[in-house]
Amino acid sequence: MAVTYLLEYMEQNRTAAYFSLLADKITFNPEEKGVWNKLNRNIPNSKRRRSYPAVKIGRLAVNEEYSGKGLGTFILDNIKYAFSNVKRLGCRFITVDALKSAVPFYERNGFRPHPTKNVNAGVADFGQI
């Protein structure tokens, strides 16, 4: 289950972009110990776990008319800001299962490949638990 948000350009009665958010988690994979160590690097030992809750971007799309104007980056920046400032949520990561063609976009926006998910998955570390 996900919640989808629309960004509407009211003057032209058009949808400029949309994105969906849902719950996710990152789970320790013993075969990827190095990756897990990097993810744990900024987490105090007493708070380290075998899995961490995450927010997943299920879909993010920008209307072709608005493509290349920074709207996708604006959306990601606001998602990161919103979840990094919600202390009650206790969530540290944003994940995405990106289309192969969108991987460079997510990498430019701070996401790193996360081999414990799948080849086109990414994760962004955005704050303290």
- CATH number for the domain harbouring residue 57: 3.40.630.30
> How far apart are the C-alpha atoms of 101 and 86, rounded to whole Å?
31
Distance between CA atoms of residues 75 and 105, nearest Å:
12
What is residue 128's predicted lDDT score, i.e. its pLDDT? 30
Overall domain count for the chain = 1
Question: Distance from first CA to last CA of the chain, Å, rounded?
Answer: 24
**pLDDT tens track of the chain, all 129 residues?**
899 999 998 888 889 999 999 998 887 776 777 767 777 777 777 777 777 788 899 899 999 999 999 999 999 999 888 877 666 667 778 888 888 888 889 889 988 776 555 545 555 544 332
Residue 19 belongs to domain spanning: 3-125
> Strand order of the sheet with strand 121-125?
3-9, 14-27, 51-62, 93-97, 121-125, 112-113
